[in-house]
Structure 1
Amino acid sequence: MDVDALLGPTRSPGTPEVRAILATTLFGSLTRGGTSGPLGNANDAALLARLRDWADCVLVGAGTVRAEGYGYCPTPIAVATTSLRLDPASTLFDGAVLILCPDASLHDATLAPRRDQLRAAGADIVGTGSGSAAEILRALRARGHARVSCEGGPSLYSALLAEDLVDVLHVTVDPSVSGEDGPAGVGYRGQLRRFALEEARADEDSMLFCRYRRLRGGAAD
């Protein structure tokens, strides 16, 4: 599978662009047995890696970091969290890590030990105002991270979609179902958002790789 073809056209370096990537079962579940690991295949993993190469940073929620066992990544990782509940001994901190938290968490005295541990592990902790998706992206762009690849989880996808901040959506459809599949969808409660199909390719495993671009004013953005 040509992962550059799956990545598709990109904006010039330094131009803000947000992409989100996810794998789903035939009936819309994003997890199997509690994680996304069993979904997708080697081509899906290659696309994820290619997006990380493209991105200035990877944006991910702390719950996904914990559930998926995130470790070292050569691309800087920005972790959105309110609790700052991350393992400072994780190999995640062998790379560049930015912790994005609401100002309330940044100044909460009860969270001071966690902040100290994460800073000692090498993380940079940044306040994001109320913690909205727009404020998270502003914090990233203020640090030179224009190209952002979001890897979830569902609440972060929903927040970005609700504020119409996802430019390109990469969806891998795994042609399977299982009794271990989690709830379908991302729990989105925002207004209607529409995307245009830009690319669809299937591989030898019948995995379907779709790339959608945001629609604005009836045309792809």
Structure 2
Amino acid sequence: MSQAQPDRSAPFYEQIYHLLRKKILQGEFKPGQRIYEAKLARELNVSRSPVREAVRALEKEGLLQIDHKSRITVYEPTMRNVEEIYQCRMSLESLAVKLACERLSASQLDEIEEVLRQTEQSIIIGDLESVIAFNVQFHDFIVLFSGNSELGKLLGGLRSLTYYYRTLNVYGPGRANQILEEHKQIFSKMKERKADEAAETMKVHIQHDLLHLKNLLTKESQQARGKKP
């Protein structure tokens, strides 16, 4: 782990939480990797208490896992886990886009279109970190503009793992452009106020995401088996 230090102007646990979360989402901490609270505390020059708080917060989000022996490991996606989360997303986000079609204002449509424009620019310059951020914003806007706060809460519970999957999902030849084109298709249906078609297009988009992730996990599993003696 790099010797990055938390900003002592803010609560230690909050700074450590954001530091660890970033390292997990950006892949510096690998899936299945052991995490040691004492080691982190020494490296960050803090007591174990704020590290423990940060770890518990990340456990609640699903990014860290703690077993019955109190061993801490980075979340490692399984096929079943991915399928269950994406099944939830298909149902919830297809409903969100359907509701948004019925309630969207012209200015809200402009906001979504601007996100698509910025996504395209980020792809052109090869800024994948921004591509991921704009992809997240596209989906977040649809949920927000659905006007259903309870729907937002339900999807909020999946937020960290969804972001984790989106980080994996954007990689691959032409993958970012494929995601953008599917977002444009969803947006086109929204502009036309075709709620049912927008919902179906969203469902297909998330199904494509799921298929891509499953293929990635399969390849990683095969590579891991191939490395074993």
Give the TM-score range, shorter chain: under 0.3
Higher relative contact order (CA 8 A, sep 6+): 1
Query: Whose radius of gyration is greater, 1 or 2?
Result: 2
Q: Tell me the TM-score normalised to structure 1 length.
A: 0.24
| Structure having the larger proportion of residues in helix | 2
Of Structure 1 and Structure 2, which has the larger fraction of its residues in strand?
A: 1
TM-score for both structures, normalised by structure 2: 0.23
